[in-house]
Structure 1
Amino acid sequence: MTSIPGCHLACVCLGLMSISIPPSDAAQLTLAENGRTAYRIVVGDDAIEPERTAAKELKTWLEQVTGATFMVNGAGAGPRILVGPSAEARRLAADVDWDALGKEGTVQKTAGRDLVLAGGRPRGTLYAVYSFLEDTVGCRWWNATESDIPKRPTLQVPALDETYVPPFRYRLTWNYENHDKPRLRARQKINSGEQIGPIPEAYGGSETIINDGHGLGKMITAEEYFEDHPEWFRYSRKEGRRVRGEDTHPVHCYTNEALRRETARVVIGLLEEHASRSNVIDVSLADSGSMCECDPCIALRRRESSESGVLVHFVNGIAEEVEAHDPDATLTFLAYWTSNKPPRFVRPRRNVVPRVATMDKRHDRSVRDYKLQRRYIEKWSGISRELFIWDYAVNFHDYLLPHPNLSAFNDTLRFYEEQKVTSIFIQAPHDIVGDFPSLRMYLQTKLMWNPRLDGRAIIEQFMRGFYGAAAPYLLSYVDLLEKAARRDGVLLSCYHRGTYHWFRPDDIDQATLLWDQAANAVRDDEVRDRRVRRARLPMDMVWLNRHRMLKRRAHDRGQAFRGPEDPYRATEQYIRTAQSFGANSSSEGSGFERVIPGLMSRYPRPGRVPRRCQDLHPARWEDIQDNMFELGFEGGWTQNFQHYPKAELARIVDDPSASDGRAARMPGGHRKEAIRYLVGREMTGRWHVYVVGRIEAAEPKEMAFIAGIYHKEDIGEIARIIPAHDPARTKGYETHYLGVHDLLRGAEIWVTPPEDETIEAVCIDRMFLIHDGAEGR
């Protein structure tokens, strides 16, 4: 039998299981019967550490499955499971081209009553064992803490004759679920760890790219080099000088020969330093959209009709020096952002591999179906001996919302394989309460190992195994969202805010019904009920983001409103639930804790309904309670407030007479706009505007406070009122009318004290808005 990289031979694929078609006289093996076994696990004397780990893993999981005790290297006759490429395993599998297996090729073969599980070194045998346990025995490791291990006291396996070599020799998905979890990554057959922690040698170690990710900025830092060599750094035409840039992401002058020589020296030193780990090194440009604007750089850029041409010339020069030192070393650079477009003339040297970053792709479909990115990859493939890929599968602006791109991975990875891609890094969302993180990891890792598997079958297998009776509804939900994201004119990318542009209200209602059905299906299954609650959180976030508009739409159309009745309480519940599951990130560079204040200020704390609104439908008016105010913000009027600490310009205090028991309190002696509400997308429209306030003053005041509406971008000042105060007439809160206005996004409703030291305090209970035309109904 021959081995073809990336292909199963003589196989029938059903779901994830790849079972070779045996000769008609081949017999299945009974590895255990009624909880007892005659089999021994045999490891060769020359086995390396990952092969001994493989034997231990096989023993552990077979014993959990069958209840039998499997001895490792025990003496005696009887059938064997040979783990590792020992001389005996090679004899039994003499038709295998063992040299063609590389580091990770796998062999699963029955020979008489014996079973061979072996592969290339260092990881092939370990991967053969995990493939056997998953595809044949039926073990499922959904994530690091949740698995389904079958109970089969009698375990029979079919005749096997399968050799497989993966097409991608470097595989990594950067996902919260596998961060610092090397044993899980070994089971996933993820073989790299620079971004998310190393894999121990016992589990096969890691394929490493030295200085991975924007490596040039790490080697030639502004801190070390700028003072003595400013000419090595970016020239800015706007500033008329060389600029240092950010210390972590400096931009260099790639036509400077002295910089090239110094970079080559540093690269050679790093290759020597890490010779035992890797001979692949990253020399990528900074994580920036800027390039040097000196005359030589611009001339070369114009000649090559791309930013990448400048970079390839530079890296080629380094690679030529490196090749003389280490002919087997490889330099890689990111074709990223401004350098994504391939050059017109120059070609990467034999020892230079572009790493194409797919930032400019549509997430809702295969890269093959998006002309711009596909053409770039095809051209890079045509001018290079091989390609690496940095694939973006994440919305960096919001990890907590749905991101329907699951079905795109299958054909995308097949396309990469066709384009000579040998390294895959998929950057995925980083939070456990994001959009199906375990499913994403499960799907991506299996398709990176073998892109010829059926991605839909993988999704269905996970859904049914992980969510049980809820699976049919969740599969329908996934299909609904993916269809919505593929509508004409929709762009799902790695940088977008919210779901307004692709998730229509009717889709949201249908999705909510499906989640209700899913929850009902597992209400008596404690484990799966908890899983469904966690998975529903992105849908809950959609409602929290769009509650007001969806409420008004349902009212205007006479439809049932399927969102939460009280969005403030729903927000509190969302935060508690997310934290109970360990939520830790909300977007790139932002922890989950940072999003909480914004969530809690989005909707009003429940309070008494204003008299003017008591006969109105909740969709026709909006409450703006003190928890939604911005206090002591920058800007605005600046009279006589400097002697007040910012925290004292305005603060929230308990106030039993306020509608929700709390109010914003300002001392009367300054004239700083210390309270404001900023109108967001969902509050735009034509509204009657009211402010409810009171002052603490013993004497009548012609100026109790000043309130107004302002929009600096489009209109300027829209409204202003200056109510008076008569303590003989009014003891408590009064409602003040600012008029009816078209409120645009970014408009500010503000309140300031009158700069009167005899007023002890100005207290603002709330603001509220009544939709124009709703008053009097």
Structure 2
Amino acid sequence: MCRIMNSLLLMITTLLYSACQPSAEEITLVRQGRSEYVIVLPEQATKAESKAAGIFRDYIQRISGAALPVITELQYKDQPAVFIGNTSHSAGPAEIHGEGYFAGSKNKQLFIRGGSGQGVVYGVYYTLQTYMGCRKDAAGPAVIPTVKDIRLNGAISDLREPAFLYRESYYPPSMDAEYLAWHGLHRFEDLWGIWGHSFFKILPPDTYFKEHPEYYSMVNGKRQPLQLCLSNENVYTLTVEWFKKAIADNPDAMYWSIAPQDGGGGCTCDLCRKADAEEGGPQGSLIRFVNRVAKQFPDQHFTTLAYGYTAKAPLKTKPGANVFIMLSTIDAFRQEPLAQASSAAGFRKNLEGWEATTGNLFIWDYTTQFTNYLNPFPDYGNLQSNLQYFATHHVKGVFSQGSGETYGDMAEYNSYVQAALLWQPDADIKKITSDFLKGYYGPAAPAMGQYLDALTNAVKSTRAVLDIYGNPIYSSHDYLSPVQTDLYSGFLDKAEAAAGNNPLYLRRVYNTRLFLEYAVLQQSRFYGTDKYGYLQPDGTVNPRWPQRVQKFVAQCKTAGVQELAEGGLSPDAYAQEWQELFSRKWVKSLALGAAVTLVNPYTPEYTPKKERTLTDGLTGGNDFSYNWLFTYGKDMIATIDMGSSKTIRQIQMNFLQDARHYIFNPTQVLVETSVDGTHFNSAGVKDIPVPEEDYAVRINPYTFPVSGTAARYIRITARCPVTLPDWRLVEGKKAALCCDEVMVE
């Protein structure tokens, strides 16, 4: 209700100012490359006002060739003028809230004023785009029309005030400082003295753990460098000392983060446990600690994360007046708005809990697939509803995490739309989308609109799940099925044709095609020798595939792809991975296509080929999402039926080790053979030691010679670790096994 009232008041205010303005005649700012206008600044102009005047002057000259003098108000002699900043010559409202701005005209004069921060700069860029045809839809040079006359028709009275205090859309365009200012966005690097998961930036374990393990969390009765012990007095003292120095070194920073590391491992020592019990969870000791530190710096703003084990609001303690809570939406799927998705029920409850305890609430949201940045991720239709929902719950700021510095699915579109909605969540989304498509794709805009609509509609019609940790393989039966992919490709074909010979628009369409091509390439690993696979039925590589991969990698580099997943492969490393697949010898196992029976179930979301994974002829790679039989927390006991008795000499299988995702080697592998499926004989057993700390991803092969044994059935028992190793011990997590491929020779 408050959001609706605020929007209504803003609309009424804007209309009132518009109604109060006399009908202005046309402002001819430049005629035939010459101008009578001057740019007038306040006598004591701020840095932002001086910057805004410079930007306005520069763009007018680049558009028309006219160079407008910049003077102070004391030098002003009643000539035609553009007043920039809070001069005594004024128009518009008496007060502009936040980083808002006003652009208006009166008596053939133009006025651009701003609120706090960079508001006046935002106002200049708004005027350039809205009234002079300049555009900046992505990183790189702005689009600037070249004309000799600049005319502003009719009365102008535009007041814009942002709905959110902090606004960040984390995509490659935001690495361009002018793009940020043009669209009124922020970067955390510019606002935070220390950002995000910060415990170990303040007290790094490499510095302190050996001598002072008591500074770190106690987990399962043992001190471990997983998080900080927030009840330790020395941790508090060192943290305060750290911030004293950091604030002195960076006095312009607006926010300082005190937040847990990414992952679990909250401290369970007696004092921390007591605080947590009183507050309803580990968020208790966190908020008490952050409040205590923040109290020492009343003029600073501190942030902490409501994320993972600290997501819930505390029962008793409220965040301090200078403490901001950044609540994460990480557990929700993205095919539905957060306000109604069943997977977001926990988030909604947490949001309401924090809203009741503080007026300083930020949201850390996610609009990309971190495991596959290039995979089509059509949550586009929910961008507006989610931001409206945040505004309804009095959220003050949003960090919308996309693909970051690397190119990802619809990066420019997402950034542009999010920027507009972070200012005005109730804006006309169709108009925003149309405006972007026309500006960015030119004549290809209609086909690109069809492409976006088709993706969005397919997610709904196929009841697909959009998981930020998903995979194109998981979606191969719904919105990324081959039939749907062909449909999308058809729209991109139309877009290419419409772009004609324009190299800029063609390159942008080509870059957009990367997303579909990536999905096809990744799915081809899943299909293997089947239709749509990269292999021919005889197991040899499809001769078109090496060139297809080469072309894809080259386009990735053109588009600015740095990594294909969060912490993932570079384009060159991706090409190398494909070369290894192309050079891999096809082993026609005696168990190829054999039926598999499991005692314990696989994890379906990570095993799309089900039991067939072990005998499909394809071996898994470093990504557990591809061709691995994933078993969580239980032994993998698989019986393979080769259909008839065969003489075998060797059995081999691989297990994946990926500690980051809690995937470990089995503690023991037992291989047995049988003629009748009832009586089994041991063919070998291997005991595997508990690994030392090692986060590298490895594929570990295990081979069992069987010396010409006759058998129809092979049973493999892989013992799952009962507990996680101490160095990866996290409450609530179990070890997983990933096995593939069982090759019988």
Taking structure 1 as the reference length, the TM-score comes to 0.70
Aligned residue number for residue 678 of structure 1: 619
User: In structure 1, what is the Cα distance between the partners aligned to 2:516 and 2:411?
Assistant: 14
How big is the shift at 1:593?
Answer: 2.8
Contact 1:678 1:747 in 2 (8 A): yes
Aligned residue number for residue 673 of structure 1: none
User: In structure 1, what is the Cα distance between the partners aligned to 2:212 and 2:167?
Assistant: 38
Aligned residue number for residue 316 of structure 1: 291
How high is the sequence identity, in percent, across the aligned residues?
Answer: 23
Aligned residue number for residue 149 of structure 1: 144
Aligned residue number for residue 246 of structure 2: 270
CA 1:375–1:241: 2 relative to 1, 3 Å: closer
- 1:705-757 CA deviation, whole Å, 9 max, x = no partner? 977664779995899xxxxxxxxxxxxxxxxxx999999995437699xxxxx
Contact 2:370 2:469 in 1 (8 A): yes
Helix, strand or coil for the counterpart of 1:234? Answer: strand
Equivalence map 1:643-682=2 (5 Å): 678=619
How big is the shift at 1:228?
Answer: 4.2
- Could you tell which deviates more after superposition, 130-139 or 254-263? 254-263
Contact 2:199 2:227 in 1 (8 A): no
State whether structure 2 residue 358 is matched by structure 1 residue 387.
no
Aligned residue number for residue 466 of structure 1: 440
Aligned residue number for residue 171 of structure 1: 167
User: In structure 2, what is the Cα distance between the partners aligned to 1:270 and 1:545?
Assistant: 45
How big is the shift at 1:6?
Answer: 11
Letter in 1 for 2:93: V
How big is the shift at 1:299?
Answer: 4.2
For structure 2, the 5+ residue unaligned runs are: 534-541, 588-616, 630-639, 656-665, 675-709, 717-737
Aligned residue number for residue 369 of structure 1: 340
CA 1:135–1:264: 2 relative to 1, 3 Å: same
Aligned residue number for residue 242 of structure 1: 223
Letter in 2 for 1:26: A
Helix, strand or coil for the counterpart of 1:70? Answer: coil
Letter in 1 for 2:619: L
Equivalence map 1:53-452=2 (5 Å): 53-73=51-71, 78-88=79-89, 92-93=90-91, 96-98=93-95, 100-102=96-98, 104-157=99-152, 158-179=154-175, 181-194=176-189, 206=190, 208-237=191-220, 240-243=221-224, 245=225, 250-274=226-250, 276-278=251-253, 280-320=255-295, 322=296, 326-370=297-341, 371-430=345-404, 433-452=407-426
How big is the shift at 1:448?
Answer: 2.1
CA 1:21–1:154: 2 relative to 1, 3 Å: farther
Match of 2:572 among 568, 576, 593: 593
User: In structure 1, what is the Cα distance between the partners aligned to 2:711 and 2:575?
Assistant: 33
Contact 1:10 1:20 in 2 (8 A): no
Letter in 2 for 1:145: G
Letter in 1 for 2:437: M
User: In structure 2, what is the Cα distance between the partners aligned to 1:583 and 1:740?
Assistant: 49
Letter in 2 for 1:461: D
User: In structure 2, what is the Cα distance between the partners aligned to 1:716 and 1:159?
Assistant: 84
Taking structure 2 as the reference length, the TM-score comes to 0.73
User: In structure 2, what is the Cα distance between the partners aligned to 1:478 and 1:530?
Assistant: 18
Helix, strand or coil for the counterpart of 1:407? Answer: helix
- 1:509-549 CA deviation, whole Å, 9 max, x = no partner? 21122222222222332221121111110101111122374
User: In structure 1, what is the Cα distance between the partners aligned to 2:628 and 2:328?
Assistant: 38
User: In structure 2, what is the Cα distance between the partners aligned to 1:137 and 1:57?
Assistant: 14
Aligned residue number for residue 632 of structure 1: none
Letter in 2 for 1:96: P
User: In structure 2, what is the Cα distance between the partners aligned to 1:259 and 1:330?
Assistant: 20
- Could you tell which deviates more after superposition, 107-116 or 709-718? 709-718
User: In structure 2, what is the Cα distance between the partners aligned to 1:473 and 1:147?
Assistant: 24
User: In structure 1, what is the Cα distance between the partners aligned to 2:546 and 2:254?
Assistant: 55
User: In structure 2, what is the Cα distance between the partners aligned to 1:390 and 1:285?
Assistant: 15
Contact 1:51 1:125 in 2 (8 A): yes
How big is the shift at 1:188?
Answer: 2.4
User: In structure 1, what is the Cα distance between the partners aligned to 2:712 and 2:403?
Assistant: 43
Equivalence map 1:561-600=2 (5 Å): 566-590=544-568, 591-600=570-579
CA 1:193–1:261: 2 relative to 1, 3 Å: closer
CA 1:363–1:81: 2 relative to 1, 3 Å: same
Contact 1:684 1:743 in 2 (8 A): no
CA 1:743–1:27: 2 relative to 1, 3 Å: farther
User: In structure 1, what is the Cα distance between the partners aligned to 2:711 and 2:31?
Assistant: 83
Give the greater-gyration-radius structure (CA): 1
State whether structure 2 residue 725 is matched by structure 1 residue 748.
no
User: In structure 2, what is the Cα distance between the partners aligned to 1:136 and 1:739?
Assistant: 81
CA 1:431–1:215: 2 relative to 1, 3 Å: closer
Contact 1:677 1:750 in 2 (8 A): no
Q: CA RMSD in A?
A: 4.0
CA 1:45–1:499: 2 relative to 1, 3 Å: farther
- Could you tell which deviates more after superposition, 588-597 or 259-268? 259-268
CA 1:396–1:280: 2 relative to 1, 3 Å: same
Aligned residue number for residue 40 of structure 1: 38
How big is the shift at 1:70?
Answer: 2.9
- 1:178-233 CA deviation, whole Å, 9 max, x = no partner? 32x32332222223341xxxxxxxxxxx4x22221122321122233334432221
Contact 1:7 1:165 in 2 (8 A): no
Aligned residue number for residue 732 of structure 1: none
How big is the shift at 1:80?
Answer: 0.7
User: In structure 2, what is the Cα distance between the partners aligned to 1:550 and 1:7?
Assistant: 60
How big is the shift at 1:572?
Answer: 1.8
Helix, strand or coil for the counterpart of 1:452? Answer: coil
CA 1:137–1:148: 2 relative to 1, 3 Å: same
- Could you tell which deviates more after superposition, 423-432 or 373-382? 423-432
User: In structure 1, what is the Cα distance between the partners aligned to 2:461 and 2:39?
Assistant: 54
Helix, strand or coil for the counterpart of 2:318? Answer: coil
Contact 1:430 1:585 in 2 (8 A): no
For structure 1, the 5+ residue unaligned runs are: 195-205, 556-563, 605-624, 630-675, 690-702, 720-737, 753-777
Contact 1:678 1:746 in 2 (8 A): no
Match of 1:512 among 465, 489, 493: 489
User: In structure 2, what is the Cα distance between the partners aligned to 1:500 and 1:453?
Assistant: 34
User: In structure 2, what is the Cα distance between the partners aligned to 1:742 and 1:523?
Assistant: 60
Contact 2:553 2:572 in 1 (8 A): no
User: In structure 2, what is the Cα distance between the partners aligned to 1:42 and 1:741?
Assistant: 88
How big is the shift at 1:380?
Answer: 0.8
Match of 1:31 among 29, 32, 44: 29
